[in-house]
Structure 1
Amino acid sequence: MHAMTARVTQGGRLVLPAAVRRSMKIADGEVVVLEIQGKVLQIVPLRDRLDAIQAACSKVLTGGHVVDEFLEERRREAAKELD
């Protein structure tokens, strides 16, 4: 685990340092999930969350293409929310 500091600016903006974006492979415009656990803020790329859901569902469901189609639809909807 690496610790870094970042400043919250006007309007509550938080800029992720370039080193963090590179190590987490977060591209400009990518959607991230913010999880609050007590006083801890965790930032997780949405794609990682969707991949985890897909993996869990594929173990339970047969015909994984249905799950793939569902997740692709969710990705498109998430991308539209950014526009």
Structure 2
Amino acid sequence: MLKQFSLVFFVLFACYVGVNSRELKHITKELEVNAPAYEAWELYRNLGLINIIVPKLPNVQSTQVLKGDGGVGTVAKTTFVPGNSSYTE
């Protein structure tokens, strides 16, 4: 399950490399995972992806939560390694 989540997360971050954070962008990706819905939601709901998967991504230098607790309206800033841009979601 973690491999599937990490793949999805990596693909989403890879799509944002080079994106100007001032421009409005929207990406939708649907993926079926082999896990109960409550387990998958726990990763998204409480910033689990940021804490578990982001440190394993080689092109990500850091991620910090600017506002919120993982619920609706949460803003997280991801800083990529030099040569890439940062993205705020």
The interval holding the TM-score normalised by the smaller chain is under 0.3
User: Larger Rg: 1 or 2?
Assistant: 1
Normalising to structure 2: TM-score of the pair? 0.26
Q: As a proportion of its length, which structure holds more helix?
A: 1
